[in-house]
Amino acid sequence: MACRSSSSVRLAAVLAGLLLCGAVSAKDEIAIIVAKDAPAFEIDPSILRDIYLKRIFIDEHGQTFVPVNLPPQHPLRHALTAIMFNKSMRQLQDYWNQRYFHGITPPYVLRSQEAVVQFVAKTPGAIGYVAPCHLDARVKQVLAIPAPAAQREELEKLCPPAEGNAE
């Protein structure tokens, strides 16, 4: 039986707690996306974390992972960072400074959710994240991460209400 690291167990516990603390709707999630024609693969939050920390480079089909981030100030990036890494932005910067000296660079940063969708749709191995309202036929969702309760209101603003639902 494989031994799970304490950070993997902690991540699983945090995600389970988020799910148990109240109903999570699609607008309260972060959609993890790949290209619509990407080969199927199993992904869970601990694997996603390792892809984004560039501890895992290649999937089971031999395709190189190309994780992409939104800008550091983007609310989705803050939410994903809070859940997935259990580190502050400063701690992550220190992590990448150390990795850089080993020839490992951080994920690409793209300016908007639309840019993430476009890049992921056209780049083999790309994986990114967007608000669920930005999903379209170019990409497929492979994982939904519940947003931290403290950030849900801010994330809801990323998806305007559907026409006819405005009050």
Q: Which tens digit of pLDDT belongs to each residue from 11-49?
A: 444 444 444 444 445 668 999 999 999 998 889 999 999
Note the maximum CA span of the chain: 54
CB 129 within 8 A of CB 78: no
Distance CA 157, CA 47 (A): 28
Q: Which residues pair with 68 in a beta bridge?
A: 108
Distance CA 129, CA 113 (A): 8
Distance CA 151, CA 144 (A): 16
Q: What is the CATH number of the domain that holds 110?
A: 3.40.190.10
Provide the 8-state DSSP code for 49: H
Residue among 14, 158, 152 at smallest CA distance from 79: 152
Predicted confidence (pLDDT) at residue 147 exceeds the cutoff of 70? yes
Q: Which tens digit of pLDDT belongs to each residue from 77-125?
A: 989 988 898 888 789 999 999 999 999 999 999 999 999 999 999 999 9
- Do the domain assignments include residue 101? yes
Distance CA 47, CA 34 (A): 14
Neighbours of 47 (CB within 10 A): 17
- Do the domain assignments include residue 134? yes
- Do the domain assignments include residue 100? yes
Domain that holds residue 97: 24-156
Domain total of the chain: 1
* Helix and strand totals (H; E) in the chain: 6, 5
Predicted confidence (pLDDT) at residue 50 exceeds the cutoff of 90? yes
- Do the domain assignments include residue 165? no
Q: Taking CA 58 as the corner, what is the angle to CA 53 and CA 64, rounded to the nearest 5 degrees?
A: 95
